[in-house]
């Protein structure tokens, strides 16, 4: 098996600004969530795969601002951050934000959600960001079951990759690279695959990651349990103003593609040549990228 490769904190820091810009397109979902929750003295929010706390850092002020725009008193926000990586959690500063009344970080896995929700106060909202594509289908279904069974008051699951990528200028091998990368994202789960969020669930090697189907899997599971589902597109738009992120994002994709190919595969040379062209375009400030993401909101039927 491949060695376990944790999510790197510098990558999480690098993507924060792009995530925030993309999520502005889904502010309507925050507004719908606040309308659903209504007046409340306090909210309990459980953030899965929280990493360094980027999701609460964006969502806490968005919730506070939305209540204020509605002319209502903003409830106290009590955030519980869950992640399997204690080093990432140690870097969060959620509790220092003025909109947050308390922020607690707990080393925990996805299959701990049911227990966590059973101990949480009401109303409770389950959140995550850039997580669903890193889970298996059974994990996502377990997440949905825990959320709906524990009578949580809503789930806002953000920035799931959709597998849609647009690069400008185009290149004849773009579709090849994209198809191999998406296959990598949905590869069979082994120790390396679940490293990004080690749930501790016992699934076989044929249980592939959901990858770009992550949100759709969750949406169908929520709908099947009688919850209402909404979604909004939250694409990254990257250009010369985002050169470090664009280079890191694209080089990581190339690394993933090469990881899936045998070293004797003739496509290895194709990928290397493609990356040489793309890297030079980034250097010259010529490359543009639109990276598909989706934010989804699930609410219990009234």
User: Domain extents for the chain?
Assistant: 9-300
Count of all residues that appear for the chain in the document: 302
Cβ pair 26, 58 in contact under 8 A: no
**3-state DSSP assignment of residue 206:** coil
Evaluate whether the domain defined by 9-300 bears CATH number 3.40.50.970: no
pLDDT tens digits for range 187-211: 644 433 333 333 333 323 334 889 8
Cα–Cα–Cα angle for 224, 228, 233, rounded to 5 degrees? 105
pLDDT tens digits for range 217-267: 999 999 999 999 999 999 999 999 999 999 999 999 999 899 889 999 999
Cβ-proximal residues to 105 (8 Å cutoff; 6+ apart), any chain: 50, 53, 81, 83, 89, 90, 92, 94
* Residue 165 β-bridge partners: 291
Both tokens of 197, joined, read 């969020």
pLDDT confidence of residue 187: 63
Rg (CA), the chain: 19
d(CA 121, CA 280): 53
**3-state DSSP assignment of residue 297:** strand
Euclidean distance between the first and the last CA atom of the chain, given in angstroms as a whole number? 47
pLDDT tens digits for range 124-135: 999 999 999 999
pTM given for the model: 0.89
97: left (phi over 0), alpha (psi -120 to 50) or beta: beta
d(CA 247, CA 141): 34
d(CA 158, CA 19): 10
Both tokens of 285, joined, read 């400030």
The secondary structure of residue 1, as a DSSP letter, is -
Residue 302 reports pLDDT greater than 80: no
Return the axis-axis angle of helices 27-37 and 54-69, rounded to nearest 10°: 60
pLDDT category of residue 102 using cuts at 50, 70 and 90:
very high
Calculated CA dihedral for residues 155, 159, 162, 166, nearest 10 degrees? 160
pLDDT tens digits for range 84-97: 999 999 999 898 89
């Amino acid at each position: 098996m491949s060695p376990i490769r944790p999510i790197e904190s510098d990558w999480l820091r690098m993507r924060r600004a792009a995530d925030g810009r993309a999520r502005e397109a889904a502010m309507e979902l925050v507004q719908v969530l606040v309308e659903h929750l209504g007046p409340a003295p306090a909210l309990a929010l459980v953030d899965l795969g929280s990493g360094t706390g980027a999701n609460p850092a964006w969502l806490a002020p968005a919730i506070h601002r939305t209540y204020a725009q509605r002319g209502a008193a903003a409830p106290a926000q009590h955030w519980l951050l869950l992640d399997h990586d204690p080093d990432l959690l140690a870097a969060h500063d959620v509790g220092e934000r003025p909109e947050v009344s308390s922020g607690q970080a707990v080393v925990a896995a996805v299959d701990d959600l049911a227990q966590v929700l059973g101990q949480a106060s009401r109303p409770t909202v389950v959140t995550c960001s850039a997580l669903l594509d890193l889970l298996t289908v059974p994990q996502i279904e377990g997440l949905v079951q825990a959320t709906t069974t524990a009578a949580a008051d809503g789930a806002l699951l953000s920035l799931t990759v959709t597998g849609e990528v647009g690069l400008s200028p185009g290149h004849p091998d773009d579709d090849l690279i994209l198809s191999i990368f998406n296959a990598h994202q949905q590869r069979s789960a082994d120790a390396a695959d679940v490293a990004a969020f080690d749930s501790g669930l016992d699934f076989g090697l044929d249980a592939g990651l959901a990858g770009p189907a992550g949100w759709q899997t969750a949406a169908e599971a929520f709908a099947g349990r009688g919850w209402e589902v909404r979604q909004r597109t939250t694409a990254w738009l990257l250009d010369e103003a985002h050169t470090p992120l664009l280079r890191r994002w694209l080089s990581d994709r190339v690394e993933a593609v090469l990881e899936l190919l045998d070293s004797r595969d003739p496509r290895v040379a194709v990928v290397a040549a493609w990356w040489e062209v793309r890297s030079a375009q980034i250097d010259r400030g010529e490359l543009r990228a639109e990276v598909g993401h989706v934010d989804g909101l699930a609410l219990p039927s009234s």
